[in-house]
Amino acid sequence: MKMQKKWSLILFALLACCGSYSCNKSNGSDAPEDDDTGVPPKKEHYPGLSVSASGQLLLNGEPYRAIGVNYFNAFIRTLDEGQQNNTSYRAGLAYLKERDIPFIRFAVNGYWPKNWELYLNNPDAYFQQLDAFVAAAEEFGIGLIPSFFWHTPTVPDLVGEPVNQWGNTSSKTHELMRKFIRDVVVRYRDSPAVWGWEQGNEVNLLVDLPGDNDNLPPIVPELGTPTTRSKEDKLYTADLRVMMQAFANEVRKYDGTRIVITGNAVQRPAARNLWKNQSWTKDTRSEFIEMLGVQHPDPIDVLSSHVYPGSAEEGYFSDEPVGVDGLIRASMEAAQALKKPLFLGEWGAQEAKYGAQTREKFMELLEAIERNHVPLAAMWVFDYPPHDTEEGINVSPDNGPREYMLQEIRQVNARIR
Domain limits for position 280: 51-416
User: What percent of the chain lies above the pLDDT cut of 90?
Assistant: 85
Does residue 28 surpass a pLDDT of 70? no
CATH number at residue 115: 3.20.20.80
Q: Is residue 335 part of a domain?
A: yes
Domain count, the chain: 1
Q: pTM for the full model?
A: 0.92
Which CA distances in Å does 135 have to 180, 232, 415? 20, 41, 29
Lowest average pLDDT, out of 51-65, 74-88, 220-234, 257-271, goes to 74-88
Residues 310-331 have pLDDT tens digits of: 998 889 999 999 999 999 999 9
The Cα 66–Cα 102 span in angstroms is 7
Q: Is residue 330 part of a domain?
A: yes
SS3 state of residue 112:
coil
Q: Is residue 32 part of a domain?
A: no
CB-based contacts of 127: which residues, under 8 Å, 6+ apart?
A: 25, 27, 183, 187
Residues 211-247 have pLDDT tens digits of: 988 999 999 999 999 999 999 999 999 999 999 999 9
Closest CA to 106 of 89, 121, 123: 89
| Residues 221 and 290 sit within 8 Å (Cβ to Cβ) | no
Q: Is residue 36 part of a domain?
A: no
Q: Is residue 116 part of a domain?
A: yes
Q: Is residue 345 part of a domain?
A: yes
Q: Is residue 242 part of a domain?
A: yes
